[in-house]
Amino acid sequence: MSITTGNNAPLAQSPETTTGLSARMIRFKHIVLSLILSVVFFLVFCFIALHAYIAWVLSNPTVAPLYSNPKLAKEMEYENALFHSIDGKQSLNGWYIPAGESTRTIILSHGYGANREETWIPMYDLAHYAHNLNFNVLMFDYGFASQTSKEVATGGKEEKRQLLGAIQLAKQKGAKQIVVWGFSMGAGTALQAGLDTKDVDAMILDSTFLLEPDTLYHNIKNQIDLPRHPSLEILELLFPVLNGTSLDQIPYTEVKSHDYPFPTLFIHGTNDDKAPYPIAEKIASNQTHPDSDSWIVEGSRHELIFREHPREYLRRVSTFLGKLESPDNPSAQ
C-alpha cells in the first residue's frame, strides 16, 4: 500500500469551490448572451429605423417654392385658382390660364418632389404650347407641394382626389373637353383618377410612375442596396403610420389591367431609372381605343424626353390632340 504525501499529493476541491466556479461560469454565459442579444436588438432597431427614415423621406419630399408665374414666364394672363379636393378635405392652389372662349382645357399634373412649375420639364413651355393650341390651362400644386398647408405624399391615394377636384374646377370654368397631361407620379395619379371619373376626354402620360412594390423597391435600391425582403414588408407596415397610406390602397393592379375608355398617349424613355418603362408598355398594350398610342424613346431619361427631343415630342402631342373631336362641333376633327 502506497501513501502519497507532501507536494505530490492531489488537491481535493471542496464542494463550495466547485459551486463558486459553476456560478461564475453561468454568470459569464449570461453576460455574453446579454451582449449578443443587445447587439442583435440594436442592429434590428437600426435596420427598422433606417426604413422608417426612408418612409418618412418618401412621404415628405422637399419641394422648392414657386419662383415665377405664367405672366412673368410666358406673357400669359392668368387667374389665381383656389379649389378643394373632390372630398372637400384639402384646399389647393393653382393658376387658371384662359384661352378666350375656348371650352377645351388641359390640366397639368406635376410629379413627385415638384410643384406646378416643375422646372426640369419645363412646365411653362408646355403650358404655353397648350395655350397656343387654344386650350385653357390649369396648373396646380398637389398637397405635398403646397407651401401653406403642406400634406404628405401618398403615392396617388389623396392626390387622386385632388386631381378630381381640379377636373371639377375645369368643368365649373366651362370646359367641355378635358385633357390631363401628367408627369411621373402625376401621370400615375391621373390613371388612378381615370378609374373614378367620366369627365376626362384624353390623357398624355409622360414617364408614368405607378407606386407598387416593384417600383418602390427599384427606387430604394437605386439609392441604397437593401434586401427586397423584409424591406418591402417593413415599409408596408410603416407607411400607414407615417402618411396614412398602404400599398394595398393604391389600385396598381387595376390600373395595369384597365382598358380606359378615352384615348391615351404614353411617352416613356428606356433609360428611366425611376419608373421602369415595361410598366408603361404593359398599360399601353391594354388600351383598345383607336386613338391611343405610345412612344417609347430609346435612351431617354425620366421626365427629360421633351428636353431631349423637343420637336418630335411636340409633333406627337400635336398629332394626338388633333385627333380629338371638337367639343363644340363633334363631327369636326
Report the pLDDT value the prediction gives residue 330, as an integer from 0 to 100. 56
Of 123, 277, 271, the residue nearest 215 (C-alpha): 277
The predicted-structure confidence for 1-30, as pLDDT tens digits, reads as follows 444 444 555 545 566 666 767 877 888 788
Alpha-carbon gap, residue 311 to 99, rounded angstroms: 23
> Among 205, 131, 127, 135, which Cα is nearest to 170's?
135
Give the model's pLDDT for residue 31.
86
Predicted local confidence at residue 332, as pLDDT: 47
pLDDT at 14: 61
Query: What pLDDT sits at residue 203?
Result: 98
**What Å distances lie between residue 223 and 60, 148, 231, 281, CA to CA?**
17, 30, 14, 25
Using 70 as the pLDDT threshold, list the residues of the chain that sit under it. 1-18, 20, 329-333
Beta strand 91-97 pairing with 79-84: antiparallel
pLDDT for 29:
83
**Domains of the chain and any CATH numbers:** 28-59+214-249 (no CATH), 70-212+250-322 (3.40.50.1820)
Contact (Cβ atoms closer than 8 angstroms) between residue 279 and residue 252? no
Q: How high is the pLDDT of residue 328?
A: 72
Q: Are 130 and 98 in contact (CB under 8 A)?
A: no
Question: Residue 114 — left, alpha, or beta (φ > 0 → left; ψ -120 to 50 → alpha)?
Answer: beta
The C-alpha atoms of residue 16 and residue 3 are separated, in whole angstroms, by 27
DSSP summary character for residue 167: H
pTM of the model: 0.89
Q: What torsion do the CA atoms of 243, 247, 251, 257 make, to the nearest 10 degrees?
A: 150
Q: What's residue 44's pLDDT?
A: 87
